[in-house]
Structures are given as C-alpha cells and as structure tokens.
C-alpha cells in the first residue's frame, strides 16, 4: 500500500517548511549519489548517528544531521512520499516554526530510542523515517478519520480511500511487531537493516508532542472543512 494523497480541504497556509524539508533531503541525497564508495562511507559515518558514540556523549549533533541522509533511492523516495502526503496538513495545524521544531524533535527522539536499544552498535543510523513517524503520529491523533488516497497492487494497480486510523494504525502495529522481533538480532557490522525502534521512538515522540504544538483553531478549521467535503470531491479546494 502506497499513500499518494489525502484530504487537503480547510488548509490556509502553504507548507513552505515541508517543501523545504523535502528539497533539503533530495539535494543532500543527490550530493551523496555523486560520491565514490569510500567518500560516501566516510560521509555517512561522519554525519550519521553512531549509537555507541552518542551513548558516550560524543557527536550529539549527528542526532540532527542523520535525519537528512538516506541509504538509497527507495529509501528516500518512500520517505519523501510520506512527508509530501502527510506533512502539509500538520504544518497547517501547527504553523511554520512549530512544525519545523516538531519535526526535528521527533527525529531526535527516534534516534535516541534506537541508541538506547542498541547502545554498542557502530552502524550509523540515517534517514528521515523517525521524524516522519512523528508526523504520522500527529496525523493519526489530529485527523484519525482523514481519508488517505492509497495505491494498491492486487494483480493490477488500483486506488482506494482508506481512513488514517486504519492505514497508519496498521503501519504502527508492523513497526512494533518487527521491532520486538528484531530484539537480540545483530546485523553484520558492514551492513544494517531497518531501525524499527527509531520509527517507534519518532512515533511516540509525535504522540506526546502534538498536544503541545497543535493550534486548536487550525485543527478545528480542518476538521470542519473535512466534515463538509468528501475527499477529492470536485468542489474541494487545494487538491493534490
């Protein structure tokens, strides 16, 4: 299942911060793609979050920089797709500055939980997934019945509308299940896997922080607009 759009009725501000985050991630990834293997490895180790260094109180700035690095084309395409679909609604609900701070705090929270779970690891953590998990948490809390336009493949591709509580809820369950199944499983030092506890950490940070960062009036405006419009109805404005 791939989310490709959602309800955008009721929004009043343009998501400049969300667009900027996507642009920064893409530009840094293109820079990574131009590096040779040795330079890329050094770049990832320098700017990614290495758990045992963070546990020792070293290189704490990497908790921020790691969320702007990615491990491959599928990694960044998937992350930026989720950020594009869900981030604009949350920025509208929080405002530009608070949304940017919320995003960064969720990303830091994501890395910290993964560090706590795997303190001795020397494998760098990279990716915006943790921060985006916080965005998903905020969306689930604020707009649980929001309709998500989803691309599915069952033999042939087709598009259906799925409520946020179902789509994001299933994703959350998968992260917790895979995360606990991964406990005690070590990957080779030369490679890594999915940092499920970073996803969980970002999600939990989002659930906790959304109550502080949301603008009640903006949330009420979006909810009122959603209740009066079906997703992607012809009369709706601000469609993707």
The string of pLDDT tens digits covering residues 51-107 is: 999 999 888 999 999 999 999 999 999 999 999 999 999 999 999 999 999 999 999
In a domain, 162, yes or no: yes
Could you tell me if residue 230 is left (phi over 0), alpha (psi between -120 and 50 degrees) or otherwise beta?
beta
pLDDT surpassing 90 at residue 130: yes
In a domain, 238, yes or no: no
What range does the domain containing 219 cover?
2-227
In a domain, 191, yes or no: yes
Catalytic residue among 129, 133, 182, 227: 129
- What average pLDDT is seen over the chain? 88
Residue ranges with strand state E in the chain: 2-6, 147-154, 156-163
In a domain, 208, yes or no: yes
In a domain, 104, yes or no: yes
**Backbone CA torsion sign across 25, 28, 34, 37:** negative
* pTM of structure: 0.88
**Helix, strand or coil, per DSSP, at residue 209:** helix
| Number of domains making up the chain | 1
Q: What is the CATH number of the domain that holds 207?
A: 1.20.1540.10
Active site residue 33: no
In a domain, 54, yes or no: yes
In a domain, 26, yes or no: yes
Active site residue 96: no
Mean pLDDT of 105-117: 95
In a domain, 237, yes or no: no
**Helix, strand or coil, per DSSP, at residue 25:** helix
């Amino acid at each position: 299942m791939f989310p490709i759009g959602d309800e955008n009725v009721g929004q009043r501000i343009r998501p400049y911060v969300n667009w900027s985050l996507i642009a920064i991630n893409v530009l840094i990834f293109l820079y990574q793609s131009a590096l040779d293997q040795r330079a890329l490895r050094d770049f990832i180790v320098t700017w990614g979050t290495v758990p045992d260094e963070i546990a020792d109180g070293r290189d704490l700035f990497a908790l921020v920089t790691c969320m702007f690095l990615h491990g491959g084309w599928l990694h960044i395409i998937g992350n930026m797709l989720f950020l594009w679909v869900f981030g604009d609604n949350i920025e509208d609900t929080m405002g530009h500055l608070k949304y940017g701070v919320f995003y960064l705090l969720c990303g830091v929270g994501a890395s910290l939980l993964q560090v706590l779970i795997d303190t001795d690891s020397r494998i760098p953590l990279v990716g915006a997934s943790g921060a985006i998990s916080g965005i998903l948490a905020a969306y689930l809390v604020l707009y649980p019945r929001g309709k998500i336009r989803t691309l599915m493949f069952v033999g042939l591709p087709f598009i259906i509308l799925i409520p946020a509580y179902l789509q994001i809820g299933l994703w959350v369950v998968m992260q917790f299940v895979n995360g606990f199944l991964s406990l005690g499983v070590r990957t080779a030092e030369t490679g890594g896997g999915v940092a499920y506890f970073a996803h969980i950490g970002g999600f939990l940070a989002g659930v906790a922080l959304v109550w502080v960062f949301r603008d009640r009036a903006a949330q009420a405006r979006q909810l009122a607009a959603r209740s009066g419009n079906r997703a992607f109805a012809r009369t709706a404005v601000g469609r993707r």
